[in-house]
Amino acid sequence: MAKACGKIILFGEHAVVYSRPGIAMPVKNLYTEVKAYKSDCFSYCVDRVLDEEEKEKLTKLIEFVFLELNLKDNIHLHVESSLPISLGLGSSASLAVALIRELTEFFFLGLEKKEINNLSFKCEKIFHGKPSGIDNTVINYEKPLYYDGGKKTEFLKIKKPIFFVVASTGKKPETKKVVSELNEKYNSDKKKYNRIFDEISDITEKAKKALEDSDIVLIGELMNKNHKLLKEIEVSSPKLDLFCEFALQNGAYGAKMSGAGKGGNMIAVTDKENKDKLINALCTLSDQVFEIEVKT
């Protein structure tokens, strides 16, 4: 049986698609598990009801991985996941990584981490069209990640634990759609969008140091600034903005949307003392609130 965790983007979403850096964290308490069994015919089962589109994507993913790995034997795959589908927590990348890990073990393929990462990046293209690669990379390496399109991938060394609280808006972000709509706007005014992406890039660089120093006040300020710029490029939503405001009034040092936007999650930074207050407050707005403690 192989497992892969979830992820959350902390800084630089969207800008990372345009070769700027991004920072993402593994979410280790949520994960996908895949187990392969010998079988006479090919089949799979999943621990939840999938809609037609989800079924189609899963079948496509499995077929693609089998083709890429040149596998021909029939097997039965059992998939279980505590990750909500399409809520910005990396369910697709987590599934791809867990599947490739399990096939690597089951068929004794001996694939290295890097090879698994490269293949899971190709899988992400099936789901998202033009992914930056940040999701599959943070999930593969399971460490807080500074990601620069693969050019300068670094793992962050976080000395003191930092507490984040995530609240889901309940609305699925359509990553592919949001990314392609932004791309149209980008093509019509590159100057404007490059300026904003550069500002986000500057924030991400500062955030890298603030995270390594566990400076939650600065992390909070930078999250607020990043959110403002994401609003400017119109990938936020009234609900995400409301969640951010509410978090700031209830013990957060900073808050922003996370991931593609127009739905998905808000993430806020807090401290040990304010954590429970913030969680309880956010539970009045969202039925999916959880904390992440980050350290390395």
Instruction: Enumerate residues 177-206 that contact ligand PMV by CB under 6 A.
Output: 179
Decide: 255 and 224 in contact? Cβ < 8 Å.
yes
Is residue 148 part of the contact set for ligand PMV (CB under 6 A)?
A: no
Residues 61-100: x where in contact with ligand PMV by CB under 6 A, - otherwise, as a string: ---------------------------x------------
Q: List the one residue from 2, 9, 247, 282 that touches ligand PMV (CB under 6 A).
A: 9
Q: List the one residue from 4, 5, 6, 14 that touches ligand PMV (CB under 6 A).
A: 14
Decide: 37 and 24 in contact? Cβ < 8 Å.
no
Instruction: Enumerate residues 262-291 that contact ligand PMV by CB under 6 A.
Output: 264
Is residue 139 part of the contact set for ligand PMV (CB under 6 A)?
A: no
Please state, in angstroms and rounded to a whole number, the distance separating the CA atoms of residues 277 and 279. 6
For the chain, what is the HEC assignment? CEEEEEEEEEECCCHHHHCCCEEEEEEEEEEEEEEEEECCCCEEEECCCCCHHHHHHHHHHHHHHHHHCCCCCCEEEEEEECCCCCCCCCHHHHHHHHHHHHHHHHCCCCCCHHHHHHHHHHHHHHHHCCCCCHHHHHHHHCCCEEECCCCCCEECCCCCCEEEEEEECCCCCCHHHHHHHHHHHHHHCHHHHHHHHHHHHHHHHHHHHHHHCCCHHHHHHHHHHHHHHHHHCCCCCHHHHHHHHHHHHCCCCEEEEECCCCCCEEEEEECHHHHHHHHHHHHCCCCCEEEEEECC
Closer to ligand PMV at the Cβ: 11 or 106?
A: 11
Half-sphere exposure of 169 (CA within 13 A, CB side): 27
Point out which span in 52-60, 129-137, 183-191, 236-244 binds ligand PMV (CB under 6 A).
129-137
Total residues in contact with ligand PMV, by rule CB under 6 A? 17
Is residue 13 part of the contact set for ligand PMV (CB under 6 A)?
A: yes
Point out which span in 33-41, 127-135, 160-168, 216-224 binds ligand PMV (CB under 6 A).
127-135
Is residue 225 part of the contact set for ligand PMV (CB under 6 A)?
A: no
Point out which span in 7-15, 40-48, 203-211, 218-226 binds ligand PMV (CB under 6 A).
7-15
Point out which span in 45-53, 103-111, 125-133, 287-295 binds ligand PMV (CB under 6 A).
125-133
- C-beta of 67: minimal distance to ligand PMV in Å? 23
Point out which span in 48-56, 130-138, 155-163, 272-280 binds ligand PMV (CB under 6 A).
130-138
Burial of 203 (0-12, 13-18, 19+ CB in 10 A): buried
- C-beta of 259: minimal distance to ligand PMV in Å? 3
Is residue 131 part of the contact set for ligand PMV (CB under 6 A)?
A: yes
Q: List the one residue from 135, 148, 215, 221 that touches ligand PMV (CB under 6 A).
A: 135
**What is the contact surface with ligand PMV in residues (CB under 6 A)?**
9, 13-14, 16-17, 88, 128, 131-132, 134-135, 173, 175, 179, 259-260, 264
